[in-house]
Structure 1
Amino acid sequence: MSPVRRLPVEEPGDRTRLPLAGDTPVCHYFEAGRCRSCTLIETPAAQQLRDKEERCRALLPGVPEQAWLPTVPGGVRDFRNKAKLVVGGRPGRVTLGILGPDGAGVDLRDCLIQQPAIRAMIPDLARFIEQTGLPPYDVPKRRGELKFVHVTVSPSEELMLRFVVRSAQALEVLRDRLPQLRRAVPAATVVSVNLLPEHKAVLEGEREELLLGSSLAMDTGAGFALHLRPQSFFQTNTGVARALYAQAAEWIGFAGPDSLWDLYCGVGGFALHCAGSVRSVLGVEISEEAVRSARRSAREAGITARFEAGDATAFALGSEEIPEAVIVNPPRRGIGGELAGWLEEAHGIRHVVYSSCNPESLAVDLAAMPSLAVREARVFDMFPHTRHLEVAVLLERR
């Protein structure tokens, strides 16, 4: 077979840069010891990429050297489309950022890895929260109301705001104050409140109440938008996500299957980007919220693709049909032995695209599929300044 055409290397998050010293960004929060989330921020960006490449090569020794495509960098600043802000401080003087070692809030409203539209609105959001009178949740004392605000920004700079609160009383306060919030943050097109009454180390509860809008439209550069509902997942680096979807679409176009399954499809990103070259496309995702988002995106884009809610492994093992190609994008634990075994034994599947956020679990899963050889592989620096990454491989039946 002819080689797969290689995508150009882009720098999606590097349009505006921090002051650099050997490609090392300056973070005053890190220097002051107030936040250590970006553990690699003192390592030059180019060295971060080399280290991630070497880590993937070491964990995946069966991948031929010539199979590795150039890494897609994620930028040094302005790349995060999502902020998970812990609400701390006290009524009238809140902090928005993270929790410190003592359980007190640490204000990080000027964190420069966030996209500018997020940074610009945080002072207005903080003033709105202070005006509501809702007390921030005090973790050590286990009292208070407002726990988090999750903020997501689209490429068009529209915002989705999700308030995580302890009680229905806080929900009603925010519902009553919605007109004030819309004046304070006019870019907010989706607003919801999530109830998390328990004292536990999680970011949200099960109950979600929409106050404004229904979904945020994420333009991925492919001529259509992916719709995100409040509890839907989307990659945190829009530029790198675009490159990842484009790479998968190119690999599937090269493989030329008649039928494609996108397992762990989320809001349908891979399925919808690949649908143009495949007759039959099916996405499977356990989150009904994400499936609703995927169906809306397909409908509005005029793309013929089906989406079903269900467990990916159970669906595959219980199906009488076998597609010619499969895309898997599992959580950090990987696809597991059952699904890997099914892919290994389903000889009608000629190609698999595996996108992984954990090269360790990817290595385990690849070892369970010896009949599928890695034809090409690529690292995507979805999470600059950390050890986390995304790595995708194109597998071909031997």
Structure 2
Amino acid sequence: MSLKKGQVINLEIESTAFKGKGIAKHDGIAVFVPGTAPGDTVEARIVRKKKKFREAKVLEILDPSPIRITPTCSHASTCGGCTWQHIPYEKQLEFKEQHVRDHMERIAGLDPDIVQTIIGCDRSLYYRNKMEYSFGTRRWLSDEEIQADKFVDDSGFAAGLHAPGRYDKILNLRECHLQDPISYRLLDFVRNYCKEHSIPAFDTHEKTGFMRHLVIRTSHHTDDLMVNFVTYKDDADIIQPLANALQENFPEITTIINNINDQPNPTAVGRYENVIYGPGYIVDNIGQHSFKIDANAFFQTNTRQAEKLYSVAKEYADLKSGSKLFDLYCGVGTLTLFMADSVEKAVGIELVDVAIKNAKFNARENSVENTEFVLGDMKDTFNEPFLEKYGRPDCIITDPPRSGMHPDVVQQLSDLAVDTLVYVSCNPSTMARDLKELKNNYHIEQVQPVDMFPQTYHIETVARCTEKVST
């Protein structure tokens, strides 16, 4: 029987897929069902029909899985921030490790036994050092409101996280357990202040309004706390009183920034920024080094776990004194500096100019003199002229964005065939895709999963690759 869109069926969830969805089979067809756990029996409606699979939405959990638990957060079933709060953390780790194994075998064509036992996180809640909240004029309605017989108004001022798959609807948060509790308190204060003072949220359809995002950065090793307002306009008459009210009610704040994004893009990065209070950055540590972090600079979201991740990368790099290291996609230089004491020279490359400025500052602040940082797009910068200028490296570390490396960069790495290549990734599927090409010239020896994001399906992985020697 062909499963049609809108059809309601009962399903037994057998396993989990990447992106956290449960998998069931119905007449040999795979059905992906978000918000489920292996062992659940559910009533679900087919919401999307594809040639080889279907996607469904849970209507009712008929028989809960033995492993299912009650989520900590009341928003867990509707919020896109935590997809696995209904699954015990030890089971989350099992599923993530298996996902990495599946990707290495199915996509990269590698032996899944090269995948090591996953390194878990000491904290499964309140682990993030950054939260990016959004404002909007339309809030996401709960299932109860949607199913109500009476009209429910979804307009007004909403502050929280985007509803899954919706850029124009905001889940109006009443709680959040991903960052230090002060993060939600700040969000709630700003939301109430804006409503009381008639400060409008940005309307994505009309391109009007003011408040777009609230970004909170906290430091694990210091007491620094950044509040970053992302607004549609530059208006000190609105921002300054709000900043004053925040300082009065939250003396823990060490800096306040206003990023102005007057463009149609939905990002929380402004075309320019104003420092309203404090130095305009926070400082945190990884290992023995401290790092300056600007509002728009990349920094690992889980500071405690980043130290474990970098220790794995350093072990895999097996650096020797007198050697040369390249760090591709270096961000603010965290990995570069973490490795610098073991090499003669370390060179970082990064596309974001503010990150390069931070990296150079961080090197100076930590009295690290054997590093150099280069601004440029990796596919255009990491080329023969670059190698002629900086020489051939003994080891390369690459930590690309979720999309993985550009094919030109993969080809350059493959042709270069350095002694050791360490690939750090936040997306095992794109890592596996790149490793499939790199394995022609490298032995892919080990892959180590490191969980940086409890309660979600996301997983970091580190691969150790060594040059294939011709015989």
- 2:225 aligned with 1:159, yes or no? yes
Q: Could you tell me the percent identity over the aligned residues? A: 25
Distance 1:316 1:105, change over 3 A: closer
Larger deviation: 173-182 or 123-132? 123-132
Of the two structures, which has the highest relative contact order with CA contacts closer than 8 Å and spacing of 6 or more? 1
Aligned to 1:179: 244
- Structure 2 match to 1:136: 201
8 Å contact kept, 2:319–2:395: no
Q: Identify if the C-alpha distance between structure 1 residues 261 and 302 changes in structure 2 by more than 3 Å, giving closer, same or farther.
A: same
Structure 1 partner of 2:432: 363
* Aligned-pair Cα RMSD in Å: 2.6
- The residue aligned with 2:272 is 207
Relative to 1, partners in 2 of residues 1:239 and 1:342: Cα closer, same or farther, differing over 3 Å? Answer: same
Question: Partners of 1:181 and 1:133 in 2: how far apart?
Answer: 17
Cα distance in 2 for partners of 1:41, 1:350 equals 42
Gaps in structure 1 of 5+ consecutive residues: 1-20
Secondary structure of 1:277 counterpart = coil
Q: How many angstroms does 1:372 deviate by? A: 1.2
Aligned to 1:219: 285
- 1:7 counterpart residue number: none
Kindly state the Cα deviation for residue 358 of structure 1 after the two structures are TM-superposed: 1.6
Q: CA deviation at 1:146?
A: 0.7
In 1: Cα distance, 2:182 partner to 2:314 partner: 29
**What SS does structure 2 have at the residue aligned with 1:236?**
coil
Contact 1:355–1:391 (8 Å) recurs in 2: yes
| In 2: Cα distance, 1:234 partner to 1:267 partner | 7
- Report if aligned partners of 1:332, 1:357 keep a CA contact under 8 Å in 2: yes
Q: Deviations over 1:326-373 (max 9, x none)?
A: 1111112211221111112214x2111111112222122112222111
> Contact 2:269/2:296 (CA < 8 Å) preserved in 1?
no
TM-score by length of 2: 0.72
The answer to whether the 8 Å contact 1:232/1:267 transfers is yes
Partner of 1:18: none
Q: Does 1:79 align with 2:148?
A: no
1:353 alignment counterpart: 422
Aligned residues: 372
Cα deviation for residue 89 of structure 1 reads 6.4
Structure 1 residue 55 and structure 2 residue 102: aligned?
no
Partner in structure 2 of residue 16 of structure 1: none
The one-letter code sitting in structure 1 at the alignment partner of 2:382 is: A
Alpha-carbon spacing, 1:314–1:198, altered in 2? closer, same or farther (3 Å): closer
Judged with a 3 Å threshold, the aligned counterparts in structure 2 of structure 1 residues 260 and 273 are, in CA distance, closer, same or farther, namely same
* Corresponding residue to 1:147 among 212, 232, 238: 212
Tell which structure's C-alpha radius of gyration is larger: 2
Q: Which has the higher strand share?
A: 2
Alpha-carbon distance in structure 1 between the residues aligned to 2:119 and 2:82: 19
Task: Give 1:54 shift.
Answer: 1.4
User: Residue 393 of structure 1 corresponds to which residue in structure 2?
Assistant: 463
Deviation, 1:73, is 1.8
Tell me whether 193-202 or 73-82 shows the greater mean CA deviation. Answer: 193-202
Amino acid at match of 1:384: P
Higher helix residue share: 1
CA separation in 2, counterparts of 1:85 and 1:308? 32
> Within 2, Cα distance between the matches of 1:181 and 1:301?
32
Partner of 1:44: 88
Change (3 A) 1:335 1:34: closer
1:117·1:153 contact (CA, 8 Å) conserved in 2?
Answer: no
Task: Output the CA distance in 1 between the equivalents of 2:339 and 2:260.
Answer: 36
User: Pick from 348, 352, 361: which aligns with 1:287?
Assistant: 352
1:30 to 70, 75, 79: 75
Opposite residue 282 of structure 1, the aligned amino acid is: V
Amino acid paired to 1:97:
G
Query: Letter of the aligned partner of 1:371 in structure 2?
Result: N
Kindly indicate whether the alpha-carbon contact (under 8 Å) linking 1:85 and 1:149 is maintained by their aligned counterparts in 2: yes
**Does the CA-based 8 Å contact 1:125-1:184 persist in structure 2?**
no
Given residue 296 of structure 1, which amino acid in structure 2 is its aligned partner? F
Distance in 2 (alpha carbons) for counterparts of 1:294 and 1:107: 36
- SS at 1:98's partner residue? strand
Unpaired segments of 5 or more residues in structure 2? 1-65, 139-155
Cα contact 2:350–2:374 (8 A) shared by 1: yes
SS at match of 2:74: helix
Q: Output the TM-score relative to the length of structure 1.
A: 0.85
Instruction: Give the distance between the partners of 2:275 and 2:174, measured in 1 at CA.
Output: 25
Q: Does 1:276 align with 2:348?
A: no
Aligned to 2:451: 381
> For residues 257 and 268 of structure 1, what CA distance do their matches in structure 2 show?
20
Pick closer, same or farther for the CA change 1:29–1:381 going to 2, 3 Å.
same
| Higher mean C-alpha deviation, range 385-394 or range 113-122 | 113-122
Compared CA separation, residues 257 and 109, structure 1 to 2 (3 A): farther
